[in-house]
Amino acid sequence: MIKKILKWTGIILLILIIGVTIVTASRQHLKYDAAYPNIHASKDTAIIAKGKHFVYGLAHCTECHSTVNADSLISLGKEVPLSGGLAFNLPVGTIYSKNITPDKETGIGDLTDQEIARVLRFGVHANGEAVYDFMPFHNMSDEDLTAVISYLRTIQPVKNKVPGNKLNLIGNAVKAYMVKPVGPSGDVPASIKADTTASYGKYLVLSVGNCAGCHTKRDLSGAYLAPLLSGGTPMGGGLIPPNLTNTPEGRIYTWTEQQFIDRFHKGKLFAESEMPWNSFKHMNDDELKAIYEFLKTVPAAKTPDVADK
């Protein structure tokens, strides 16, 4: 009797495993629908310059979409090739950043402005598949999104075929059941006034800089698990993005506005830090003042014991 029970239990488990495997495989390329934002790239030099400022600065596109020493090229006044190919070794497998140069074969040259805007705002690729939520620019204003896309249209095309993502068993399960498009949290503004207020700082932190993406704990799908900016998940070198909330445990709790500004302008000081300091140091003082003002309004929350540098 016991042998029969064990036999049938094994058969049932095998059937379940096979069934889950088949269903998981069938869900690897789910298609989603999303609106196409009414965004059109501009040739206006001021708009393009604004887009470049975001790409090289707070939006830190060069940190992920380039494999070269971007800081060195920028210091020499040269263009950074945003040709992708940077490998992120994650618990779900290896994810490669995309080529976002205007190359028609391997980059974004064949995509319309609206298709690119849909990826950034609604998390849906041109082929309808969901985007991993690593670039949450969902609430970026129409004006700023236009500026970013306008700049990307002007950079030198680079032919670089990026490898497809290599997911493990966990990654396949996450993609099948957890990865879904993420869109705006509310009405997206047509434009937003740049100033030194906490309101603009909030916009920069959450809608452009993606500070919450690292400074808040997340699960494998990218969903947030902890209070906003209360400290992130351990990263390379065992460092943890620190708490930025208004609490004595917070990294900047005792910092003055000028100390905050000065620290950012110094760029990266510790090689093991994952913080994109060399992009963030290109922010201007007004942007940094606005961010500082906003961080001082973030409700206090508990932080991990170890912090990034």
In contact, 107 and 155? CB cutoff 8 Å: no
For residues 49 and 173, membership in a common domain is answered with yes
pLDDT score, position 6:
63
Question: Is the same domain home to 136 and 232?
Answer: no
Rounded Cα distance, 95 and 88, in Å: 5
What's the whole-model pTM score? 0.88
Let me know if residue 10 belongs to a domain. Answer: no
**CA 162 from centre of chain:** 18
With respect to residue 144, please indicate whether it lies within any of the assigned structural domains. Answer: yes
* Residue 152 shares a structural domain with residue 233: no
Residue 223 and residue 160 in one domain: no
End-to-end CA distance of the chain: 62
Q: Are 269 and 277 in contact (CB under 8 A)?
A: yes
Structure tokens at 217: 């704990």
Q: How many CB atoms are closer than 10 A to CB 266?
A: 9
Average pLDDT per run of 10 along the chain, which is 309 residues long? 67 74 81 94 98 96 91 84 93 94 96 97 93 88 98 97 92 86 91 97 96 86 83 80 92 96 93 89 97 96 56
Statement to judge: residues 150 and 224 lie in one domain: no
The whole-number pLDDT of residue 69 equals: 86
- Identify the domain containing residue 254 by its residue range: 198-295
Domain contains 14: no
Please indicate, yes or no, if residue 190 is contained in any of the structural domains.
Answer: no
| 71 and 162 share one domain | yes
* Tokens of residue 62, six digits: 């060069």
Question: What is the pLDDT, as a whole number, of residue 16?
Answer: 74
Do 209 and 136 fall into the same domain?
A: no
Please report, for residues 217, 219, 221, the alpha-carbon distance to residue 303 in angstroms, rounded to integers and kept in the order given.
10, 17, 22
Give pLDDT, residue 1.
Answer: 65
| Residue 70 exposed, middle or buried by CB count within 10 Å (0-12, 13-18, 19+) | buried
Same domain for 74 and 151, yes or no, is yes
Same domain assignment for residues 247 and 281: yes
Give CA–CA dist 205/192, Å, rounded.
14
> Are 52 and 163 in the same domain?
yes
pLDDT of residue 17: 73
DSSP 178-211: T------SSPPPS----SSSHHHHHHIIIIIS-H
Q: What is the pLDDT of residue 224?
A: 80
Q: Let me know whether 170 and 235 are in one domain.
A: no
The structural domain count of the chain equals: 2
Closest by Cα among 179, 164, 161, 24 to 94: 164
103 secondary structure, DSSP code? -
Instruction: Flag whether 305 is in a domain.
Output: no
Specify whether 203 is located in the same domain as 289.
Answer: yes
Q: Tell which of 146, 177, 208 closes a domain.
A: 177
In a domain, 78, yes or no: yes
Look at residue 3 and tell me if it is in a domain: no
243 neighbors 309 (Cβ within 8 angstroms): no
Does some domain include residue 11? no
